[in-house]
Amino acid sequence: MSVAFTGAIGAAVDRVEGRAKVTGEAKYAYEYRQKEVAYVSIIQSTIARGAIRGVDAAPALELPGVHAVLWHGNAPRLHEVTDGELEVLQSHRVSYRGQIVAAVIADSYETARQAERLVRIEYAPEPHDVLLRGDHPRLYTPEKVNPNYPAVTEDGDFDAAFESAPVKVDCTYETPAEHNNPMEPHATLAAWNEDGGVTIYDSNQGVVNVKNTVARAFGLDPHHVRVISPHVGGGFGSKGTPRPHVILTIMAAQAVKRPVKLAVTRQQMFALTGYQTPTIQRMRLGADRDGRLVAICHDAIVQSSTVREFAEQAALPSRMMYAAPHRRTTHRLVRLDVPTPSWMRAPGETPGMYALESAMDELATASGIDPIELRVRNDPEVDPESGHRFSSRNLVACLRDGAERFGWADRDPRPATRRDGRWLVGTGVAASTYPARRQPSSARASYEPGAGYTIQIAAADIGTGARTALTQIAADALEVSLEQVEVQVGDSSFPEAFLAGGSMGNSSWGSAVIKACRELRARMAEEGSDVPLWVEAETREEVAAASAEPLAKHGFGAQFIEARVDIDTGEVRIPRALGVFAVGRIINPKTARSQFIGGMTMGIGMALHEESLIDLEFGDYLNHDLAGYHVPTNADIEDIEATWLEEDDPHVNPMGAKGIGEIGIVGTAAAVASAVHHATGLRVRDLPIRPDKLIVAFARCNR
């Protein structure tokens, strides 16, 4: 099925809520007002493993304005909780440093913070283990990796094929723990109602997920939980599932019988809102002398906590990127005394493509073949894993188009041969990919004579421009102008929809919006436009049918980086970054470009800046604020450009649009690392590429 687009889709429309955001009129979770609201302050464990022997709350309770101190001895019991991270204050056990072990509820935030210091907690510490090692004795193979893929895949005979391959790469790449740092930290305001239900204003990537998790945890009918989140200041995955503070806030409101609000601090986010696992990835590529891969093996090692298994799917992209008759991918995991890792923009693909694409660059060097040509030679006809055709795959076109724009043709492949004053100069390339999936969603479309059209859907606009894109999609489906359509999102009382995750938001929601709009038009054709009308539509059947198609659906891209490396200080600058993407139809070039360059910026951060350093003695992150945890800022990003190819893919959804929230970060770090190698001749195989690593390497080769 396709839509007769009338021109809203494809237009560079400004964000419909842009004015509300810049004037401060757009309300975020913590800004909602409630009468007699109380404030929660979190108390975090100071040990990484052990037990709580006792909590003395008496001095805190003496402070005027303090309503309660909650801890496992007096906290309400939760009903059904499947995520161990959400079993807040249910046990005397401590599973990681920074875990919530108590909370103060007071009239003001200041009083709550003051009282927090008066609560005495006695611990019985036990030795902890917080370090991921490739030879950890407790490594095991999980049953599945996130979200539901097999942990191990095997095709042919990798060992024999690799052994006899004339050109080999066998390298191990490491990525550190990384933390999501959206501009708006997590925040929740909870108010219990007289009918026994609860209303939550919350910063999240999906109100339905929050509603259902809260309902189960507190033993409520989901209809008695309302989650309101019209504006969200970023998430990147960290708000994809409700975090422990949501449970704590609702619990606190229950305990003190009044509305309660909680803003997670930036520092607390480093323990409580998830992070990307560190990875250790061994890549083995075996090729013919003409660069054709005969054997690919990707072995990924990641970590999880003792309270929940989260297994990042780092080896996933090596299953579908390149053709090779003999292939193996494995994941192993160790459960440590750490917070549970979780989603961070393109989990799996981001660390995995750093390793795979770095190894491809090393293979290009080893075989003396241009890195673009090497990828072209290994571009598969069909998905190597499933044998299915690709619904569309334009990686080669992206590489060729980018090469042209970037000026790749006259590149001298020799490393460490270009110098501009104190700067060594190099260029690098890498591929991007991300699956194009969708999930069932529903939407309501209504018409009011004289007022226009309203679309309601429990979707999330986490800053991506989703609300604007859905307005464009609805306008085209209704065949009316944008001004006649208002899209409302972020309320669990609206028809259920999938979360803003896995780059599936627009794809899932847009499908439901189009269906609802079409049905509304059909009703209006029958009943005229003099009466108010509304319809609700859901997409379960269409989505199931589409997933059953024997097609591999993925977006692709190519990233080009120029790096300049200071010969004395090891400082790396990125004067040029170019991304070329093939991701189906672009709904809104303005918001799409933001997603691409935002992802690429985060990828440059991954390559050069971002790293959460764990302190082995205390078992906690040393750098847990934006002073110690470096993300790229304006001065770090110079000429950055994203563009895209026309791609017609009728298989992904009625819009023909693949998700674009994550693909921009995929591959960037490998392109940077390859550009640094081209500039310096040095391969740094553990991210980030810090100046000190380059200085040490410079010294070693007497530069």
Which spans of this chain sit near ligand MOS (rule: CB under 6 A)? 205, 235-237, 240, 343-345, 347, 501-502
Q: How far is CA 453 from CA 159, 171, 510, 537, 614, in A?
A: 61, 57, 16, 15, 52
> Least CB distance from residue 659 to ligand MOS, whole Å?
9
Q: Alpha-carbon distance 667 to 643, whole Å?
A: 15
Q: Alpha-carbon distance 344 to 32, whole Å?
A: 28
Closer to ligand MOS at the Cβ: 312 or 562?
Answer: 312
Closer to ligand MOS at the Cβ: 504 or 582?
Answer: 504
Task: Write the single-letter amino acid at 40.
Answer: V
Are 337 and 131 in contact by the 8 Å Cβ rule? The answer is: no
Closer to ligand MOS at the Cβ: 209 or 427?
Answer: 209
Closer to ligand MOS at the Cβ: 87 or 662?
Answer: 662
Residues 6+ apart with CB under 8 A from 62: none
Closer to ligand MOS at the Cβ: 276 or 653?
Answer: 276
Does residue 662 have an active-site annotation? yes
Closer to ligand MOS at the Cβ: 460 or 487?
Answer: 460
Q: Alpha-carbon distance 361 to 578, whole Å?
A: 18
> Least CB distance from residue 598 to ligand MOS, whole Å?
13
Closer to ligand MOS at the Cβ: 147 or 575?
Answer: 147
> Least CB distance from residue 343 to ligand MOS, whole Å?
4
Closer to ligand MOS at the Cβ: 234 or 688?
Answer: 234
> Least CB distance from residue 531 to ligand MOS, whole Å?
41
Q: How far is CA 527 from CA 519, 531, 534, 632, in A?
A: 12, 8, 12, 55
Q: How far is CA 441 from CA 206, 215, 467, 548, 655, in A?
A: 12, 20, 15, 17, 15
Are 151 and 144 in contact by the 8 Å Cβ rule? The answer is: yes
> Least CB distance from residue 281 to ligand MOS, whole Å?
19
Are 477 and 6 in contact by the 8 Å Cβ rule? The answer is: no
Residues 6+ apart with CB under 8 A from 635: none
Q: Alpha-carbon distance 61 to 106, whole Å?
A: 10
> Least CB distance from residue 310 to ligand MOS, whole Å?
12
Q: Alpha-carbon distance 442 to 460, whole Å?
A: 13
> Least CB distance from residue 236 to ligand MOS, whole Å?
6
- The two tokens of residue 448 are 């009011």
Best CA proximity match to 285, nearest among 408, 346, 375, 394: 375
Dihedrals phi, psi of 562, to nearest 5 degrees? -105, 130
Closer to ligand MOS at the Cβ: 158 or 343?
Answer: 343
Closer to ligand MOS at the Cβ: 312 or 361?
Answer: 312
Closer to ligand MOS at the Cβ: 71 or 434?
Answer: 434
Q: Alpha-carbon distance 211 to 227, whole Å?
A: 6
Closer to ligand MOS at the Cβ: 50 or 237?
Answer: 237
> Least CB distance from residue 276 to ligand MOS, whole Å?
9
- The two tokens of residue 596 are 């691409």
- In angstroms and rounded to an integer, the radius of gyration of the C-alpha atoms of the chain is 26
Q: Alpha-carbon distance 104 to 114, whole Å?
A: 9
Are 364 and 290 in contact by the 8 Å Cβ rule? The answer is: no
> Least CB distance from residue 237 to ligand MOS, whole Å?
3
Are 695 and 631 in contact by the 8 Å Cβ rule? The answer is: no
Q: Alpha-carbon distance 120 to 54, whole Å?
A: 8
User: How many other CB atoms sit within 10 Å of the CB of residue 547?
Assistant: 12
- The two tokens of residue 326 are 């003999």
Q: Alpha-carbon distance 384 to 407, whole Å?
A: 31
- The two tokens of residue 14 are 């400004």
Q: Is 130 exposed, middle or buried (0-12, 13-18, 19+ CB in 10 A)?
A: buried
Q: Alpha-carbon distance 16 to 376, whole Å?
A: 41
Task: Write the single-letter amino acid at 608.
Answer: L
**Cα atoms found within 13 Å of the Cα of residue 33, Cβ hemisphere only:** 1
Dihedrals phi, psi of 124, to nearest 5 degrees? -110, 90
> Least CB distance from residue 232 to ligand MOS, whole Å?
11
- Annotated catalytic residue, options 184, 538, 610, 662: 662
> Least CB distance from residue 505 to ligand MOS, whole Å?
9
Nearest residue relative to ligand MOS (C-beta): 237
Q: DSSP letters along 440-466, please?
A: --EEEEEEETTTEEEEE-----SSSSH
Please count the residues of the chain.
Answer: 703
User: How many other CB atoms sit within 10 Å of the CB of residue 400?
Assistant: 17
> Least CB distance from residue 206 to ligand MOS, whole Å?
9
Q: Alpha-carbon distance 703 to 699, whole Å?
A: 6
The H or E element that residue 120 is part of is: strand 120-125
| Pairing, β 38-44 against β 260-263 | parallel
Q: Alpha-carbon distance 29 to 233, whole Å?
A: 10
Closer to ligand MOS at the Cβ: 188 or 439?
Answer: 439
> Least CB distance from residue 475 to ligand MOS, whole Å?
27
Which are the catalytic amino acids? 662
